[in-house]
Amino acid sequence: MNFRWQSLLIVTTVAASLVACAPNRVQPGTSPENVRVVTVVPGMVYQSNSELARTETVIALAEDAGAKQTQPQALGAAYKHLERAKVGYEYAEEEDEMEPEDELQIEALWYSQKALADAELALAGAKANHDEAKIADLQRSIQALRVELQRLADAQAGLVAEEAQ
């Protein structure tokens, strides 16, 4: 194996190890863009724990954003697919050593990615609902200011008319 490929293999191994050791939770206020990490390491065993941990983190962020109330279908789908992924990974690990082309592992991977997509959808929907509520509140405030400005303008016009007489 030449030096270039050895270097690439060492770097990807280190990166995969770091991702696998990442904590399950992130600090509140962390954006999901900073949470999602895609790990593609040819010829190495897929890091199921890190994928599931990322999914659980995004689900927690979605819950914190109010997805239980605003996006219950997407959040429910995320939980359902996460459970199927966990069961699939456990079953695949019990069967034999997990190989990258293992059918059970591929199915579990698909469910974990589907759960992550559902969680991200729930998070985005919850944030959108939150933003829509803020916009509606701002529109009400703007309308109240317009009414008050009109009242003041009318009062000032009335004073000017009285002074002119």
Give the mean model confidence (pLDDT) for residues 57-72: 93
Mean of the per-residue pLDDT values for the chain? 76
DSSP string for 26-85: --TT--GGGT------TTS---HHHHHHHHHHHHHHHHHTTHHHH-HHHHHHHHHHHHHH
Give the mean model confidence (pLDDT) for residues 55-78: 93
pLDDT band of 47, cuts 50, 70, 90: low
Q: Is the pLDDT of residue 3 over 50?
A: no
In whole angstroms, how far apart are CA 54 and each of 22, 112, 148?
Answer: 9, 10, 49
pLDDT tens digit sequence for 75-111: 999 999 999 998 888 877 776 555 655 677 788 888 9
pLDDT tens digit sequence for 101-155: 567 778 888 899 999 999 999 999 999 999 999 999 999 999 999 999 999 998 8
CB 88 within 8 A of CB 107: yes
pLDDT for 115 equals 94
Where are the domains positioned within the chain?
A: 3-131
